[in-house]
Amino acid sequence: MRENLMIKDFPEDERPRERFIRNGPESLSNHELIAILLRTGTKDESVLQLANRLLTSFEGLRMLKDATLDEITAIKGIGRAKAIQILAAIEIGRRIANLNYHDRYVIRSPEDGANYVMNDMRFLTQEHFVCLYLNTKNQVLHKKTVFIGSLNASIVHPREVFKEALKRSAAAVICLHNHPSGVRLQGVSFQRFS
């Protein structure tokens, strides 16, 4: 790391945000990712130097993940706002790591699919075209309203259905739509991708 250089003094293609955009987050070091969260340094040191000092103070991410607000704000150059940003990012990472995929709703039949969306869709006044995106165990990964139509019609392009399926790495899609004139819900199709 270059000493006594502020982030504006770095060539643009060496700055963390620009490298993040160009090469993705995995291309950045831990202190560069922390620097993005901190956003700014102090008048005497760049955000990269501040981030590096923060990590050094906690001997890396392992100890930083358990740091308190007071411990982080004890580091010169890091106030409450910066400390809260760091702690919020750590908490988001912790929550993602603790997500329990075993509690996901499983679709075993067309009725299961209808039951999953019935309460949300039964009293809608327009036709809604909804897709359920499933993993290989038929667990619901995501539910998305792909199109909202009129009182009695819903037109959707397959591109919109498959775009979300690819984004979610879905193994199957269930497409459903309601009938605003009644409480009936139709499961249109169940498509497993190979």
Give me the CATH number covering residue 51: 1.10.150.20
pLDDT tens, N- to C-terminus, the chain (194 residues): 445 566 666 777 778 888 899 999 999 999 999 999 999 999 889 899 999 999 999 999 989 999 999 999 999 999 999 999 999 999 999 888 777 666 789 999 888 888 888 888 877 888 888 999 999 999 999 999 998 887 666 678 889 899 999 999 999 999 888 877 654 554 444 445 54
In a domain, 37, yes or no: yes
Do 149 and 188 fall into the same domain?
A: yes
Q: Which positions ≥6 away from 97 have C-beta within 8 Å?
A: none
Q: Of 63, 97, 131, at which residue does a domain stop? A: 97
Do 188 and 130 fall into the same domain?
A: yes
Domain count, the chain: 2
Do 147 and 170 fall into the same domain?
A: yes
SS3 call for 133:
strand
Q: Are strands 140-148 and 185-192 parallel, antiparallel or unpaired?
A: unpaired
Residue 98: CB atoms within 10 Å = 7
The model's pTM is: 0.55
Q: Of 79, 97, 115, at which residue does a domain stop? A: 97
Q: State the Cα–Cα distance between residues 181 and 172, nearest whole angstrom.
A: 29
In a domain, 1, yes or no: no
Q: Of 59, 74, 97, at which residue does a domain stop? A: 97
Do 109 and 56 fall into the same domain?
A: no
Q: State the Cα–Cα distance between residues 66 and 132, nearest whole angstrom.
A: 37
**16 lies in which domain range?**
7-97
